[in-house]
Amino acid sequence: MYNGSPHRYGPSSTVQCSQAEDAHEAVPAYDEHEVGVSMSDTLPHFPVYGAPRGEANTATVERALGEMQAASDQFRIAIDTIPGLVWTALPDGSVDFLNQRWLEYTGLTLEQASGWGWQKAISPEDLSRLVEYWRSVLASGKPGEIEARLRRHDGVDRWFLFRGVPQYDEQGNLVKWYGQTMDIEDRRRAEEEVKKQTAHLDELFELAPHAVVLVDADISVIRVNREFTRMFGYTPAEAINRPLLDLVAPEERLSEYRNNARMLSSGQKVESETIRRRKDGVRIAVSMTASPVLTAGPIEGYIIYRDITGRKRDEALLAGEKRLLEMIAKGDSLPRILEALCRLVEETAAGSLCSILLVDPNGRQLRAGAAPSLPLEYTQALDGRVIELGIGPCGDALQSKQPVIASDFRTDERWSEEYRALALAYGLRACWSTPILSLEGGALGTFALYYREPRSPTPEEYNVIEQFRDIASIAIERTQAEDALRRNEALLAEAQRLTRTGSFSWRVTTDEITWSEETYRIYELDHWVRPTMGMVRQRVHPTDLPLFDRAVRRATAEGRDFFFEHRLLFPGGAVKHLQVVAHVSGATAAAPLEYVGTVMDVTDRKRSEDALDRARTELAHVSRVTTLGQMTASIAHEINQPLTGIVINGNACLRWLAGESPNLHEAREATRRIVRDGQRAGDVITRLRSLFRREGSPNERLGVNEVVHEVIALTRGEVHNGGATVRTRMADDLPLVSGDRVQLQQLLLNLILNAVEAMSEVHDRPREINISTQRGEGNEVLVAVRDSGVGLDPQGKEKLFDAFYTSKSVGMGMGLAISRSIVEHHGGRLWAASNDGPGATFLFTIPWNAAGEDPGPMCP
């Protein structure tokens, strides 16, 4: 190794594979071999091997040679003792000396290595390069060095720095090359390692998925990576030396400046989320990490930006969506939800005006939904339009059920002149409309974005539109479903209120009971009360409580449905009648027993049933009185006639007997007529007595024929006056029936009087009443009363037996209703049939006592 500089251009600054620049100044004529070398004083004067060129006298040479030889020997010894590999070469480059270390290291002998033999010790890979370089150095006559691998005696190659320095004599002749070969293997390896790492880091820097920028203490850009260029639009050339604050949105500059100052002064990493401005002016949301580079050198810092515009937008969208869904869940009104949705869309899609139109429930017209930023007049102009192609993008979207993009109304001729003029009048140039469809595919409305400049959606905007369209769809469908549900619930509550039917569920094991509003009303408890079985039992009428408990116990023990009626007793003493029906709900063996059922307040029904019973009784009474009145009139007439006869005959008789010559014959005749009429009146009285004689025993055994005869006799006058005749056809083998004589008389009376009435307008045929009796099917007697009257009105036939139904101009219409109730009271049936010919037949059956008795012929 050199401890000093053997020549003026020192080796202290190593320039690999290059020649020292300053050599030109020092040795202007170094290409000439004759140029002498000014040797440093501190170095020995090396002998020159071989014949030097130039002219010198022999003696001097000899002497010099001797001195040189001595010095050379000393030098060689010195050289051989140093650890470095050293060599010398003649001006032509052939090596004339290699020190011991060199020979030991390579395993070559001096003879082998001398001249150009050293080439054997050079790694073949590097040899040609080295030799070529060595020749160029030789030719230049200037120092040179090159790195190449030297092969050790054991065949291992290691990197060495080969350095050659020429020596010139006083005349400037090149006399010798001195060379040194230094082991640089370790250094070289370290350098390669550094180079590799630097390359990796550079790559990392460039390929980092975030924008990375290196700044100096003035926050000027030193270096940027590719992502930086992509994110902010500045190429490295544009960015470098630019103040980083150029990226910062004006409103963020102050806080940004503070951040940077803090980062650089504290040496701490600073993280923040902020807004940056791209080269094109667009603002983007970024998350920023600023970190100082901790070196001894000037202060620098790395700043890493991540583009969080998408994330921010997604977050905002998500938050907005959440807000909307909350509104939907809370049951906000549809207009409010849709308006909030529009506003959110407008925040998300800058410059857009959002509009939602709804399809009218009639399915044919557009209805305004929400469009908070559109001119009201425009929205109103669309409201109510009939949905068809050409009325605007929304109409088309609904018709085709496809998104419709109108990029520019000025040039797009798909829509009517009128519509385009309308849109343009309000400064609307573009509209992207998407149909909002229900899950089933039905059109609910349209979701549209309007712009004031011509535009087409980007794929990103498409996504946003779809996302919001789906929310709108949920909102509309949900609201509609809720409206329907609310309507149904209201309807159900109303129905429950109207029918006084409440519903309940009862989970038996836990005694969890839920009630509908009406159930609360029925039990007269407040809504906030949590119902329990104990509470229900408290309301049950004490008399009915054992029945109630038994019914409930039995049903729950067997897991069966239950149905029963009981009464409630309220503190004020009021009583309600309840009908309870409960179903076992979703019963599986494993599931806890739960009932779902209804309680119906049947108090009114009970009351009206009672009232109806009373009314029926009263009616029957009234009817009987009325019938008696009719019969009385009939009877009075029957008795009045013979009575009148008797009176007149009596007068006549007196006249025949008075005077001088009484006419006994005429008097006798008159008296005979008196007797006859008297008997006739007596007959009427007899029948009258039979009519009332057994009134006190309603369930006597009767012969139906007998009753028929009695009534025919009683109605003789009515029938006669009605211009009608009665014929009978009685079966003579009828068994006795058990019943109320008066009621059956009343029944027949009604039917006969009806028949007379039915024939009152008949003039073209005989007015005939045919009464027949016979055995009916089974154990019953069948009685038929047939007339030749106007017949049955087919429409009135159903109502015939209703109380107060009448086809007559007079009367209350009670007759047939009472008749039917009498027949049914006797266990029979009453019905009417149209005759084949004119008129109608009323038939009724009365069962005879079937208690094992032999129904022999008992009647006259």
Partner 1 sequence: MSLISVVDDDDSIRESLQGLLESIGFAVETFSSAQAFLASGCHTRTDCLILDVRMPGMRGPDLQRELARRRWPIPIVFITAHGEEDIRPRVLAEGAVDCLLKPFSEEALIHAIHAAIPPSSPKITDM
| Residues of the shown chain interacting with partner 1 in the complex, contacts defined by CB under 8 A | 633, 636-637, 640-649, 651-656, 658, 663, 666, 669-670, 673, 676-677, 680, 720-723
**CB-nearer residue toward partner 1: 476 or 759:** 759
Q: Provide the minimum distance between the beta carbon of 757 and partner 1 in the complex, in angstroms, as a whole number.
A: 15
**Backbone region of residue 155 per phi and psi (left: phi > 0; alpha: psi in -120 to 50; beta: other values):** left
Is 255 within 8 Å of 274 (Cβ atoms)? Answer: yes
Q: Are the CB atoms for 726 and 714 separated by under 8 Å?
A: no
Per-residue tokens: 105: 């290291």
Q: Are 172 and 56 spatial neighbours (Cβ–Cβ below 8 Å)?
A: no
Shortest distance in whole angstroms from residue 746 CB to partner 1: 19
Cβ at position 703, least distance to partner 1 in Å: 31
Residue whose CB is less far from partner 1, 406 or 724: 724
In whole angstroms, the minimum distance from the beta carbon of 636 to partner 1 comes to 4
Q: What whole-number distance in Å separates Cα of residue 66 and Cα of residue 88?
A: 19
Decide whether 611 or 633 has the Cβ nearer to partner 1.
Answer: 633
Whether 330 contacts 322, CB under 8 Å: no
Q: Are strands 768-775 and 725-730 parallel, antiparallel or unpaired?
A: parallel
Nearer to partner 1, 769 or 822 (CB): 769
Nearer to partner 1, 236 or 662 (CB): 662
The DSSP-derived string for 442-462 is: -EEEEEEEEESS-----HHHH
- Shortest CB 767 distance to partner 1, Å: 9
Cα dihedral: 820, 822, 825, 829 (round 10):
-40
Q: Smallest distance, Å, CB 734 to partner 1?
A: 32
In order, the DSSP letters of 88-130 are: EE-TTS-EEEE-HHHHHHHT--HHHHTBTGGGGGB-HHHHHHH
Q: Where are the alpha helices (DSSP H) in 500-587?
A: 517-523, 533-539, 545-558
Question: How far from 683 is each of 638, 721, 752, CA to CA, in Å?
Answer: 10, 20, 21
Minimum distance from residue 623 beta carbon to partner 1 (Å)? 19
Sign, Cα dihedral of 827, 832, 835, 836: negative
Amino acid at 236: P
Cα diameter, the chain: 243
> 121 vs 670, which CB is nearer to partner 1?
670
Q: Do 821 and 616 form a contact (C-beta atoms < 8 A)?
A: yes
Q: For partner 1, which is the closer residue by CB, 526 or 660? A: 660
Which C-beta is closer to partner 1: that of 197 or that of 725? 725
Single-letter amino acid, residue 413: E
CB atoms within 10 A of CB 210: 17
User: Shortest distance, CB of residue 771 to partner 1, whole angstroms?
Assistant: 19
Residue 534 identity: G
Residue 660, C-beta contacts closer than 8 angstroms, at least 6 positions apart: none
DSSP-derived secondary structure letter, 592: P
The label of the residue with tokens 């030297």 reads 150
State the nearest-atom distance from the C-beta of 650 to partner 1, in Å: 9
Tally of CB atoms within 10 A around 262: 13
Q: Which is nearer to partner 1, 364 or 727 (CB)?
A: 727
Nearer to partner 1, 463 or 644 (CB): 644
CB of 645 to partner 1, least distance (A): 3
Identify the DSSP state of 213. E
Cβ closer to partner 1: 313 or 680? 680
> By the 8 A CB rule, do 177 and 91 touch?
yes
Shortest Cβ 655–partner 1 spacing (Å): 4
Using the minimum distance from each CB to partner 1, give the nearer residue, 655 or 775.
Answer: 655
Nearer to partner 1, 348 or 663 (CB): 663
Minimum separation from the CB atom of position 652 to partner 1 (A):
4
Strand partners, 577: 567
Q: Who contacts 736 (Cβ-Cβ below 8 Å, separation ≥6)?
A: 701, 702, 703, 848, 849, 855, 858, 859
Pair of tokens at residue 529: 């009360």
Q: Which is nearer to partner 1, 621 or 668 (CB)?
A: 668
Q: How far is the CB of 764 from partner 1 (least distance, A)?
A: 14
Any idea which residue has 């009146």 for tokens?
Answer: 681
The C-alpha torsion from 145 through 147 and 151 to 152, rounded to 10°, is 80
CA distances 372 to 379, 462, 469, Å, are: 10, 21, 17
Residue closer to partner 1, measured from CB, 110 or 652: 652
Closest CA to 445 of 373, 344, 369: 369
For the bound state, the minimum distance from the C-beta of residue 768 to partner 1, rounded and expressed in Å, comes to 13
Least separation in angstroms between residue 809's CB and partner 1 is 17
Rounded distance between C-alpha atoms, residue 236 and residue 222, angstroms? 9
CA–CA separation, 465 vs 345, rounded Å?
8
Amino acid type, 279: K
Cα 358 from Cα 434, distance rounded (Å): 12
Query: From CA 420, how far away is CA 428, in angstroms rounded?
Result: 9
Of 455 and 673, the one with the shorter C-beta distance to partner 1 is 673
DSSP 8-state symbol, 21:
T
Q: Is-contact 819 837, C-beta < 8 A?
A: no
State in angstroms the smallest separation of the CB of 743 from partner 1: 25
Q: Taking each helix axis from N to C terminus, what angle separates 664-692 and 704-714, rounded to the nearest 10 degrees?
A: 130
Q: To the nearest whole angstrom, how small is the minimum distance from the Cβ of residue 725 to partner 1?
A: 10
Closer to partner 1 by CB, 101 or 680: give it.
680
